[in-house]
Chains A and B, each alone.
Chain A
Amino acid sequence: DVKVTQSSRYLVKRTGEKVFLECVQDMDHENMFWYRQDPGLGLRLIYFSYDVKMKEKGDIPEGYSVSREKKERFSLILESASTNQTSMYLCASSLSGGDGYTFGSGTRLTVV
């Protein structure tokens, strides 16, 4: 089975800190995605990548950036964390277009 691993389950950071959320998949998937999930708003797409060194903005990219230097790793970066970025962050991957997504277990980030 494909495994998508998010490095932290829970994270507490201070306002203004630079935060790195790491995601690694182990099945040579082409596509990787970052979503955030908030009560009442559901899952919203932040950034995605269809290839190494490629990135595309999703619906809510403001305040975030990403890095994909290797195929298996897709990092989400909060340049200067703010309290409104407190959320559950979910990483996913898929082999190619038309294939199902596999999600990681999520990172619950709290910014204080």
Chain B
Amino acid sequence: KQEVTQIPAALSVPEGENLVLNCSFTDSAIYNLQWFRQDPGKGLTSLLLIQSSQREQTSGRLNASLDKSSGRSTLYIAASQPGDSATYLCAVPGSGNTPLVFGKGTRLSVIA
């Protein structure tokens, strides 16, 4: 059964720092991986979708990488801003390509 782990569970950094969020998954037979952002009490906003044939995707200050063979992904945030404060969730398809399975997220606080 697919399991997704995100480390760290929480992170607090000063504004302007570059940071890395980690995601690992147990079943590497995935066709994509998706990173989401969630603000308190709100729904999920998709940040990046990486197909299994890709190694990374970039959107603005965000860069996500995927290493299927090792079951890992990282989300790199450059020059962090207070507005980046949110919970970041990683998700991959379940075993047998069933619906997305989510990690429990990393709660990020960027301090001005």
Which A residues are CB-close (under 8 A) to B42? Answer: 105-106
Q: Which 10 A-B pairs have the closest CB atoms?
A: A100-B49, A103-B44, A105-B43, A43-B102, A42-B104, A106-B43, A103-B43, A98-B31, A48-B99, A100-B34
Q: B32 contacts A90, CB within 8 Å?
A: no
Expressed in whole angstroms, the Cα–Cα distance for A97 and B43 within the complex equals 21
User: Considering the complex, which residues of chain A in the window 65-112 have a beta carbon less than 8 Å from any beta carbon of chain B?
Assistant: 88, 90, 92, 97-106, 108
- Residues of chain B at interface, number, CB under 8 A: 22
For residue A52, CB closer than 8 A to chain B, the reply is no
Interface residue SS majority, chain A = strand
Q: Are A42 and B103 in contact (CB under 8 A)?
A: yes
Residues on B with beta carbons closer than 8 Å to the beta carbon of A33 = 99-100
Residues A100 and B32 in contact in the complex (CB < 8 Å), given A43-B89, A90-B44, A106-B42: yes
Give the size category of A's interface with B: 20 to 34
User: Contact partner of A97 among B34, B97, B102, B105, CB < 8 A?
Assistant: B97
CB pairs A–B below 8 angstroms (5 shown) = A45-B101, A58-B99, A98-B51, A106-B42, A108-B41
Chain B, 35-77, contact with A by CB distance < 8 Å: what is the 0/1 string? 0100001111110010100000000000000000000000000
Find out whether the CB atom of A45 lies under 8 angstroms from the CB atom of B99: yes
Residue of B nearest to A108 (CB): B41
Bound: A40/B104 CA distance, A: 7
Which of B32, B99, B100, B105 has the most CB atoms of chain A within a 10 A radius of its CB?
B99
A interface footprint on B87-112 (CB within 8 Å = 1, 0 otherwise): 00101000001011111110000000
B32 closest partner in A (C-beta): A98
B99 vs chain A, min Cβ distance (A): 5
